[in-house]
Amino acid sequence: MENNVTEFIFMGLSQNEKVQQLCFFLFLLFYMILMTGNFLIIMTIQRSPNLKSPMYFFLSFLSFVDICYSSVTAPKLIIDSQAKVKSISFVGCMVQLFFSHLFGCTEIFILTVMAYDRYVAICKPLCYMTIMDQKVCSILVVTCWLGGFVHSFIQTILTVRLPFCGPNLIDHYFCDVHPLLKLACTDTYVVGLIVIANSGMISLSCFVILVGSYIVILLSFKTRSSEGRRKALSTCASHIIVVILFFAPCLFIYLRPSTTFTEDKIVAVFYTTITPMLNPLIYTLRNMEVKNAIKRLWIERLLDRNKRDSGVKLSGIGIASVVPASTSVAGNKSIIIP
């Protein structure tokens, strides 16, 4: 069957004009907070010599992925909140589908890698820097990207090959697999099973690994002192919160047959916008090292700015004092001596 659809129309989060205006200001605020917070995390980790452990290397990578992931859907959602017709071309839809799954799956893998990092740090502290050296960390990051690319490539190829011959109204605010399968002019049962195996099982497998790693970590607390337990639990708590916020919506969306519910759009907001926005807040509020590093970074910037301002003022005073000293009076005329 031929593909007769050249563009898709989004229904968005709501058809109510007042709700759309509210969404515009709300998601614009969310996106600004998201970008500022994640850029701040990246900048702080890059410029702070005390934050050079593998945990912070993965955290900066997670912030970068969060920026990319939200930027695939949030700007389009903000613009469409002011548009009467929320359209996207067929090619644009497939590109959005590819990159949303690329960054989303990469984030799932990086969260799993971060859980492994915490397991090694807490359960094998003496071997931590040997096991998690720079080479291993780089390999793990590259593996996350490759895993995300393979997953996204499969999802996109399955969707591109489907025939779209009539309806083009997507009951969503971005292009995703389930809403597109609903519009296909063919039986999508087999494709739906592959989507579950690809997206749902990846989410479930990584979630099981994460839960297992934290169970092992919690069991290891029995052999530690109360101070050691407090530090280890504080380190893991922020990661556990992020995992729950990200994986619960993903499992709800992708670990089920190819059906769509009205709640899907609201649930999708959590893993595409809310969780990436909250990640910097969660990690900084529960991590004294990051908070202290951010304070030092801002203090250094203020001191540098004050030094530059002082230098400009002093140079201005010096120029003003040189001119009168270099003049002599001859009669009623002032002669400037070069």
Cβ density class 68-84: b for 16+ within 10 Å, e for less: bbbbbbbebbbebbeee
Residue range 329-338, pLDDT digits in tens: 444 444 444 4
Of 296 and 151, the structure prediction assigns the larger pLDDT to: 151
Distance CA 45, CA 38 (A): 11
pLDDT of residue 289: 78
Domain over 7-293 is classified CATH 3.30.2130.10: no
Of 294 and 57, the structure prediction assigns the larger pLDDT to: 57
Beta carbons within 8 Å of 192's beta carbon, 6+ residues apart: 181, 257, 258
DSSP state of 127: G
Distance CA 309, CA 313 (A): 6
> What are the structural domain ranges in the chain?
7-293
pTM (two decimals): 0.84
pLDDT averaged over every residue in the chain: 84
pLDDT grade for 187, boundaries at 50, 70 and 90: confident
User: Looking at 9-23, 67-81, 299-313, which range is the least confident one?
Assistant: 299-313
- The whole-number average pLDDT for the span 160-174 is 88
- The whole-number average pLDDT for the span 308-325 is 56
pLDDT of residue 293: 80
Residue range 31-46, pLDDT digits in tens: 999 999 999 999 888 8
pLDDT of residue 315: 59
Distance CA 257, CA 264 (A): 13
